[in-house]
Amino acid sequence: MRAPGGSRGFTLVEILLVVALVGLIATSALGPMIFLVEKLRAVRDDYGAERKVVAALESVVQDLRDGLPQASAPFRLVRRDALAGGPDDALLVWSLGPTRRGGILGTVVYTVVRQDLLHPVATGLYRWDLKVKAPTDVSLEGLKTEDARLVLPGVDSFRVEARQEKAWVQEAAGKLPQGVRITVTRWGRSYRHQDWLPVQEETKP
């Protein structure tokens, strides 16, 4: 077909081929772009999840930093495992931490609560601020979830090691530790946090 003036025009088939080619190029370029956007979103979500875990575990360490070494047996670490086999440790410290939250001096307790028939609450890491009660006087079995605060939802594994007398121990009752290692599992992913506490002078390995 020729357009007026002798120049050749485009046939319908040629126009359709061009449109199809442009669509193919656009689709080819859009595929990697969509993949990149999805990867960036995944990285952002992972970073956000990790920051929440770090902030929660740093709050545990802060309560240890606020521990009062002059108290008798200000620290207690209990090694436990749930019936299903998951780590279920309990960390207790005589601390000024509750005063930062509008409470009074007492023992702070951290442990995991799992949702079940006896505990119709969200699974996660919980904190109790117990008024004027030493760590050694606390009955872990007597803790009530309605008195606790959810620190980090989704945590179903809580394992703690304390640095005592130049060694990492799994259980302790006595003076404040020189350091702490905390490992949690949240929604299938494990996180580990280690920190040193300004309680006693010690050469770190």
Query: In the chain, pLDDT over 90 holds for what percent of residues?
Result: 59
* pLDDT for res 11: 75
pLDDT digits (tens, 9 = 90+) for 30-89: 566 665 556 556 556 566 789 999 999 999 999 999 999 877 899 999 999 987 667 899
Q: How many CB atoms lie within 10 A of CB 77?
A: 22
Instruction: Find how far residue 53's CA is from the centre of its chain.
Output: 2
Cα(182)–Cα(78) distance, rounded to whole angstroms?
Answer: 13
Contact 143, 107 (CB under 8 A): no
Helix (H, G, I), strand (E, B) or coil at 59: helix
Helix (H, G, I), strand (E, B) or coil at 20: helix
Indicate if the pLDDT at residue 202 is higher than 80.
no
Indicate if the pLDDT at residue 104 is higher than 70.
yes
